Amino acid sequence: MTAPTPELIAGNFEGKSIVSVDQISVQDIDIVMREADAMEAAKLQHGRIGLLEDKIVAPLFYEPSTRTFMSFVSAAKSLMAGVVSERGVNYSSVAKGEILEDTVRTVERYADVLVMRHPTVGSAAVAANVINVPLINAGDGSGEHPTQALLDFRTIQKYNTKPLAETVVAYVGDNKYGRTSKSAAKLLAMYGAEAWFVSPEELAMPREITDQIEERGGKVRVVKHLEEALEAADFLYMMRIQKERFPKQNKVARMFGRPSQYDQVKDQYLLTEELMRTASPTIKIMHPLPRVNEIPLAIDSDPRAIYFDQVEQGLYVRMALLALVCGRTAIKS
């Protein structure tokens, strides 16, 4: 898909689609974080606030999702917006072969904001380009996941004890097909953070992205051993291997009982309780979730594991984004 370049936010989110972290500046991130603070306080005090009572949000998910889907719906409902199309696209005309452009042009007639997840890189930009209401990218294939990057940023800021320019985030797992580390590392690069990439060689962070990280002022290192990252990084960002994004021949290999590429790389970087004993006492463990087998359940009670708090930050960030694209704020002036 040839994706058009999305418009810069440049201090004003109203009416704009959020497709890529490339649209977002440090000042824009400040706006989102201040708004998210106000949303968190409002949630705590009132549960729900009627900021988007007159608006309708349409989640359009062409890929499985638990957190992103539910947090957007919860965010919309926390702002008392209506939500349409909750059943997932398998029940809609997409299953009959409707093209993306027609679906989003239809949904914009029913809703004020679209939230879309799609398996194709660039699909969010294409969809945003043909409609007149804001579209928020909830993940486009192995491309980007800008709202996850913003919630990751908020989580890091909450737990960080250093300036971001001195902070090391080690992204462990599938940096090739995964979209979360691409968006997070590009966003944190604007603050001069250091990104370490720990992946099986076949799943390394693409050169195009490491170039962009460096152009933005971030530092990049490829690290081979998980132990090194556990000793010296400030945040360890674990990720699953994106099995569904491997080329089709892997399915064929499995059918014939041959090891697929996925089988060969899947268990290379797993966190264990033993590794956690040798890890830095101050490291924080993050994960965009879902996990497959990268982190055993026993680590959840380790105070260094912050991935469920990370999940919660998604609610406040998505409340903030929904309000901002509608030109609303929970900040009392």
Q: Which is nearer to ligand NCD, 68 or 167 (CB)?
A: 68
Q: Which residue, among 164, 205, 147, has the nearest Cα to 181 in the 3D structure?
A: 205
Question: What minimum distance in Å lies between the beta carbon of 223 and ligand NCD?
Answer: 20
- 227 token code pair: 């132990």
Question: What minimum distance in Å lies between the beta carbon of 113 and ligand NCD?
Answer: 18
Q: Which is nearer to ligand NCD, 228 or 309 (CB)?
A: 309
Residue 285, C-beta contacts closer than 8 angstroms, at least 6 positions apart: 235, 236, 238, 271, 295, 299, 302, 304, 305, 306, 307
Distance, CA of 212 to CA of 214 (rounded, Å)? 5
Which residue number is nearest to ligand NCD in terms of Cβ?
288
Q: Which is nearer to ligand NCD, 51 or 200 (CB)?
A: 200
Between helices 26-46 and 307-325, what is the axis angle to 10°? 100
Question: What minimum distance in Å lies between the beta carbon of 133 and ligand NCD?
Answer: 22
Q: Which residue, among 6, 65, 121, has the nearest Cα to 318 in the 3D structure?
A: 65
Residues counted in the chain:
333
Question: What minimum distance in Å lies between the beta carbon of 289 and ligand NCD?
Answer: 5
List the beta strands (DSSP E) in 103-254: 113-118, 135-140, 168-172, 194-198, 219-222, 235-238
Question: Any idea which residues carry the catalytic annotation?
Answer: 67-68, 96, 117, 145
Q: Which is nearer to ligand NCD, 55 or 72 (CB)?
A: 72
Distance, CA of 140 to CA of 49 (rounded, Å)? 30
Question: What minimum distance in Å lies between the beta carbon of 314 and ligand NCD?
Answer: 8
Q: Which amino acid is at 24?
A: I
Strand bridging mode 235-238 / 219-222: unpaired
Q: Quick check: 24 and 9 in contact, CB under 8 A?
A: yes
| Residues at the contact surface with ligand NCD, assessed by CB under 6 A | 67-68, 139, 145, 148, 179-180, 239-240, 288-289
Question: What minimum distance in Å lies between the beta carbon of 206 and ligand NCD?
Answer: 16
Q: Which is nearer to ligand NCD, 16 or 117 (CB)?
A: 117
Q: Which is nearer to ligand NCD, 290 or 296 (CB)?
A: 290
- 65 token code pair: 């999702």
